[in-house]
Homo-oligomer: A and B are copies of this chain.
Amino acid sequence: MSHFRDHRLQLHLEKNKNRARLLISCADQPGIVAAVSSYLSEQGANIVESNQYTTDPEGGMFFLRIEFECEHLSSKKEQLENEFTSISNKFEMDWKIAYADELKRMAIFVSKGEHCLLELLWQWQAGDLIADIPLVISNHPDLRETVESLGIPFYHIPVTKETKKEAEQKQIELVKKYNIDVVVLARYMQILSAEFVKEMPYRIINIHHSFLPAFIGARPYERAYERGVKLIGATSHYVTNDLDEGPIIEQDIERVNHKDNAEDLKRIGRTIERNVLARAVSWHLQDRVLVYSNKTVVFE
């Protein structure tokens, strides 16, 4: 299967070697776009895609994502960033430039349920998710073969109440050792500690199996069945210290009816979960998600 990945990845790198994304958040004020676009123009960069959002025309926050092309980009990165400093200082911007040919390094955490993991691996192989996946971590051994058959290292780190702290320590070490940019909890059934979350602010993505804020917490499908809802859903969000309360990246639903029992809801839900998680991860990998006030701006 991997020839797809190699081929499409090659194409992607080729096509994107001169492409970068500039992300900016700051207080809204006149002249931002003029300053930024003039700067890019002076650098010989051509704007390919641009999205902006102002929370409120009067005194709100301003968010900007510009995707640009610039010849000989690889040799110009330092200069680009240095010269942007004067603009960013003037407007007191939070900002970064992400280069499309520098793949993000993604670790996937999983328990026993395979569907979300498989969807990510599959889209990755198909070249639809552009990232490196240096490792998969699981608290169960079951999915080792699946993962290793794709040439991805699999770490089995069991977690019990007693070993939880130690297990997390190992996870954090691996995340650091492998230089991980983003952690995806692909139905990982453990709650991460505040310490772990602090390590990777807005860089841990979870999938919750309900349309949050409905059915926060455990057993959402069972509770959806008991409540008799006519829609079930899934929610992908960044992990914060408040369980299931982090900024929502993506949600979706499917219709169900009285004939569907809790097992049916789980089966139908599996397809929603994997599609929602894959979309959220894809947007994150393309630097399309910005966070403010516990919400996301998604520049699709």
Chain A residues with a Cβ under 8 A of chain B: 1, 3-4, 28, 30-31, 33-34, 37-38, 40-41, 44-54, 57, 69, 114-115, 118, 122, 126, 128, 142-143, 145-146, 149, 211-215, 227-231, 233, 247-253, 257-259, 267, 270-271, 275, 293-298, 300
Contacts and interface: CB of A to CB of B under 8 A. Distances in A.
Contact of A118 (B114, B122, B258): B122
Nearest to A114: B1
B3 A142 contact: yes
Contacts of A229: 211-213, 248, 251
Contacts of A69: 57
A233 B295 CA distance: 18
A140 B48 CA distance: 38
Contact of A227 (B4, B53, B248, B267): B248
**A34, A249, A295 — most chain B CB neighbours (10 Å):** A34
A126 B114 contact: yes
A33 to B, nearest CB: 4
A38 B30 contact: no
B54 A48 contact: yes
A33 B44 contact: no
Given A31-B41, A228-B296, A253-B231, A1 B145 contact: yes
Nearest to A19: B57
Nearest 6 Cβ contacts at the A-B interface? A228-B295, A214-B214, A34-B37, A34-B41, A33-B37, A34-B38
